Amino acid sequence: MSEKIPVGISACLLGEAVRFDGGHKRLAFAVEELAPWVRFEPLCPEMAIGLPTPRPALRLVRSAAEGNIALRFSNGQPGDLSAAMNSLSRQAVSHMAHLCGYVVCAKSPSCGMERVRVYDEQGSNNRKVGTGLFTAQLMQQFPWLPVEEDGRLHDPAIRENFIERICALHELNQLRRAGLKRHELLAFHSRYKLLLLAHSQPLYRELGRFVAAIHQWQDPGAWFNEYRLRLMQLLAHQATRRNHTNVLMHIQGYFRKRLNTRQRQELATLILRYREGTQPLLAPIALLKHYLSEYPDPYLAQQRYFEPYPEALRLRYGY
């Protein structure tokens, strides 16, 4: 991957001391592991609306009269920061169409992605049902954008899925930057076939019907926007062990005539062990990649399934 991928991030996760308590929430995975591949674009929405650090903590409050959710100080200090935060968010997000992903800080009334506490006006009865105002704006303007929280990225499967989506969107955005050409979009879709099948076979078939109708679209830009949304929604479905097993067996079929009995058995056993959960996905994939270098196949060689993100991130070790 030659060019670093542009990814937005809550500034406190990069280690910037911008939190209400003067501290940060440095996310080691981002700072240490992702940084070689990603060009982070940090933003602290609360600092961007002019708040200092340290500052009183903020919270989301549901107004009893209108049902609106407002951003207020949690210490009872008067003031409603919602208009300032919504205006800043709209303006900032309008300059973020180039981003391929966003890592946000969990639980924050500005940056949290889900389950942010929403209080009643008396400051009690809080329920974890909110989204930070900045992130709500981000997800509303760019529903295709991969967005994840720091805490959820500790889960290996969620982490792998997030990085996979970021890399796919980056590749797709590069096609658009180079000027949309139908044959390149179709080649992109073909390269992602096995990877998409690992996420959802029914959704892959549905997307396939959409792709097959590409020639009916007069405006390639409109087709691209719809395809991007559908593709990213499909990839957001967590790949399953069962679907991976089907894909591995499908690839196995390509080598059937080339491998001897011992090699075929070894491969079948490895796929079975993966299916049973006693081997990580990396194991059968490494063996298939080995056979691919021994017995090259142009169709398989271009499949993103074998390397959907830089191997050095070691994302397929954990599951």
Collect all residues with Cβ–Cβ distance below 8 Å to 141 and sequence separation of at least 6.
90, 93, 94
Binding to ligand SF4 (CB under 6 A) within 212-251 occurs at none
Q: Which is nearer to ligand SF4, 99 or 198 (CB)?
A: 99
* Cβ proximity of 198 and 305 under 8 Å: yes
148 binds ligand SF4 (CB under 6 A): no
Q: Which is nearer to ligand SF4, 8 or 284 (CB)?
A: 8
- Residue with tokens 């691209």, as numbered in its chain: 224
* Shortest Å distance, C-beta 30 to ligand SF4: 13
* Cβ proximity of 167 and 146 under 8 Å: no
Q: Which is nearer to ligand SF4, 12 or 197 (CB)?
A: 12
DSSP structural state of residue 5: E
45 binds ligand SF4 (CB under 6 A): yes
Q: How many residues bind ligand SF4 (CB under 6 A)?
A: 12
Site string for ligand SF4, 7-36 (x = CB under 6 A): ---xxx-----xx-----------------
Q: Which is nearer to ligand SF4, 102 or 192 (CB)?
A: 102
Q: Which is nearer to ligand SF4, 116 or 169 (CB)?
A: 116
Give the CA distances from residue 290 to residues 28, 196, 249, in Å, rounded to whole numbers and listed in that order.
32, 22, 16
Residue choice 44, 93, 163, 231 for contact with ligand SF4 (CB under 6 A): 44
Query: Comparing C-alpha atoms, which of 50, 42, 54 is closest to residue 7?
Result: 42
The Cα 212–Cα 210 span in angstroms is 6
* Shortest Å distance, C-beta 29 to ligand SF4: 16
**Interacting stretch for ligand SF4, rule CB under 6 A, among 41-49, 79-87, 163-171, 292-300?**
41-49
* Cβ proximity of 109 and 137 under 8 Å: no
Q: Which is nearer to ligand SF4, 12 or 100 (CB)?
A: 12
* Shortest Å distance, C-beta 163 to ligand SF4: 21
Q: Which is nearer to ligand SF4, 77 or 293 (CB)?
A: 77
Contacts 24+ apart (CB under 8 A), 169-178: 169/100, 169/101, 169/144, 169/145, 169/228, 169/232, 170/1, 170/5, 170/100, 172/228, 172/231, 173/98, 173/100, 174/3, 176/224
Binding to ligand SF4 (CB under 6 A) within 100-139 occurs at 105, 108, 110-111
Kindly report the number of other CB atoms within 10 A of residue 179's CB atom: 8
Query: Comparing C-alpha atoms, which of 266, 238, 243, 268 is closest to residue 253?
Result: 268
59 binds ligand SF4 (CB under 6 A): no
* Shortest Å distance, C-beta 164 to ligand SF4: 25
> Where on the phi/psi map is residue 63: left (φ > 0), alpha (ψ -120 to 50), or beta?
beta
Residues that bind ligand SF4 (CB under 6 A): 10-12, 18-19, 44-46, 105, 108, 110-111
